[in-house]
Structure 1
């Protein structure tokens, strides 16, 4: 008889949902993964991040950046949210991989909200080449630390 490996993914519970939402709510930057439309290869960059009023992440990006053209070509993307602490193994700290769809957000309407959470963007928020992007969650993979892996749905990720 062949042994079947046990599924390392735990059932999603209230603690996992709370941790994922906390990671989104407190993140001020993330790694953004997109597909380069010219080569089809993955491309990763760092972006600023704030939670929108509905909890979905927002970022301000320039139309001059390569990831903007990639998102226009294919709005599917991924965000890696969560940073290692000052001590210990980086792989033991919580992190969330969020699969999302990037959509234009109302830059004028969300200005006070965005700048209230990320005041450093005041320097460039009104530049004409910058747009506000909302990441609509499609799914999430939460690693809450060693042995704490969860799959999350959009309703698990937003309050």
Structure 2
């Protein structure tokens, strides 16, 4: 007998929860492949104008070189609440492709302004030459909205397709 699929079909409530998790995330766990092995780090985030999560990373960080070598990555957003079991709080894993934004890109100024609204302390280093905005373009999402509320989401479900 085949195993029952634990994932529910995406619905409006799941899409809204995923969108809220992306829009309110100021930090996330970014997983990359580094030297052939998984490597996870915490990154600061802001939603881009199109809703795609954006981070600002330095060439000095090991995950920057890893993303340049292999742009497929994974981002976990959703912080545990102040009470209860952390695993009962909603969280979203986004399978993404890293897209570096060129320093001379026409939309960089708008992206910079939006990022600084969410991450004002980045004003100290946002214009350093070794820092780069990276859009984490969703390819798929896995939403855990709480016990028995698991969904597989497409880019369009995340407002990115």
Query: Shorter-normalised TM-score: what interval?
Result: over 0.9
Q: Distance in 2 between matches of 1:109 and 1:94?
A: 30
* Residue 147 of structure 1, CA deviation: 0.6
* Residue 103 of structure 1, CA deviation: 0.5
Gaps of 5+ in 2: none
Q: Distance in 1 between matches of 2:7 and 2:110?
A: 39
**1:114 lines up with 2:115 in the alignment:** yes
Provide TM-score, normalisation by structure 1.
Answer: 0.94
RMSD: 1.1
Q: Distance in 2 between matches of 1:47 and 1:61?
A: 8
Which residue in 1 is equivalent to 2:74?
78
**1:89 lines up with 2:89 in the alignment:** no
Which residue in 2 is equivalent to 1:48?
44
2:13 to 7, 15, 21: 15
Corresponding pairs, count: 155
* Residue 113 of structure 1, CA deviation: 1.1
* Residue 123 of structure 1, CA deviation: 1.1
Gaps of 5+ in 1: none
Which residue in 1 is equivalent to 2:25?
27
**Stretches of 4+ moved more than 3 A in 1?**
106-109
Q: Distance in 2 between matches of 1:134 and 1:77?
A: 11
Deviations 1:67-87 (A, max 9, x none): 000000000000000010010
Provide TM-score, normalisation by structure 2.
Answer: 0.93
Deviations 1:100-127 (A, max 9, x none): 0000124434211111121111111111
